[in-house]
């Protein structure tokens, strides 16, 4: 049974620090201004963003029935680590300037859940180090996925076109593969 409650300071700091370290995203305080952050705690902790009005309504009925979910899921905390969700990366994408732009073949591959090669990338951020996360978008600037670079930027220049350089962490093809 999930228990719904407001986020505590420790959880808040885990999210904030993880966003900085993995995505170099430092504006967490700014983007959450309109929301209350709720933790739905079960085997892991779901991080949910809800409006004040939703939260007040929840307070009215919480003694009678537990929600299945509410608001939108920004990510999960499991074993002390925060993992952003597909909705979460879409939400923060407009605040992140440097993203990886995929070619049309890269778009198809990533939505099938596959990893990407150099030739699937149209452009990439100016600074890349091995294990850096990057939001993957198509040529229409639409958010498709989150990937992790397997090499440094200097190495990319010297690689063959068909070598995997970007690991697919999550992608919106999930909605079709698993979410139906």
Residues that bind another protein (CB under 8 A): 49, 51, 53-54, 57-58, 60-61, 64-73, 85-87, 90, 107, 111, 138, 142-144, 172-173, 175-176, 178-180
In the complex, minimum distance from the CB of residue 131 to another protein, in angstroms, rounded to a whole number = 27
Q: Which is nearer to another protein, 83 or 153 (CB)?
A: 83
Task: Compare residues 147 and 173 and give the one whose CB is closer to another protein.
Answer: 173
Cβ 168 to another protein shortest distance, Å: 14
The distance of closest approach from Cβ of residue 171 to another protein in the complex, given in angstroms and rounded to an integer, is 9
| Number of neighbours of residue 102 by Cβ within 10 angstroms | 26
- CA diameter of the chain: 61
- Is the CB of 70 or the CB of 116 nearer to another protein? 70
The residues, ordered by sequence, that sit 6+ positions from 151 with a Cβ below 8 Å of its Cβ are 130, 159, 165
Rounded Cα gap, residues 58 and 157, in angstroms: 53
Work out how close the CB of 178 gets to another protein at its nearest, in angstroms, rounded to a whole number: 8
Between CA 38 and CA 33 the distance in angstroms is 14
Q: Which is nearer to another protein, 7 or 151 (CB)?
A: 7
User: Rg of the chain over CA atoms, in angstroms?
Assistant: 18
User: Terminal CA-to-CA distance of the chain, rounded, Å?
Assistant: 23
């Amino acid at each position: 049974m999930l228990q719904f409650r407001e986020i505590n300071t420790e959880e808040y700091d885990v999210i904030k620090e993880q966003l900085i370290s993995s995505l170099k995203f430092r504006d967490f305080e700014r983007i959450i201004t309109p929301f209350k952050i709720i933790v739905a705690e079960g085997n892991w902790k779901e991080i949910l963003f809800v409006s004040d009005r939703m939260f007040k309504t929840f307070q009215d009925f919480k003694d009678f029935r537990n929600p299945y979910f509410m608001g939108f899921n920004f990510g999960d905390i499991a074993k002390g680590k925060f993992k952003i969700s597909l909705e979460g990366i879409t939400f923060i994408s407009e605040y992140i300037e440097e993203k990886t732009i995929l070619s049309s073949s890269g778009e198809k591959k990533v939505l099938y859940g596959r990893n990407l090669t150099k030739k699937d990338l149209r452009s990439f951020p100016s600074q890349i180090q091995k294990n850096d996360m990057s939001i993957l978008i198509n040529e229409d600037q639409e958010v498709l996925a989150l990937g992790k670079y397997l090499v440094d930027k200097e190495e990319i220049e010297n690689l063959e076109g068909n070598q995997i350089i970007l690991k697919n962490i999550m992608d919106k093809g999930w909605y079709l593969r698993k979410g139906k």
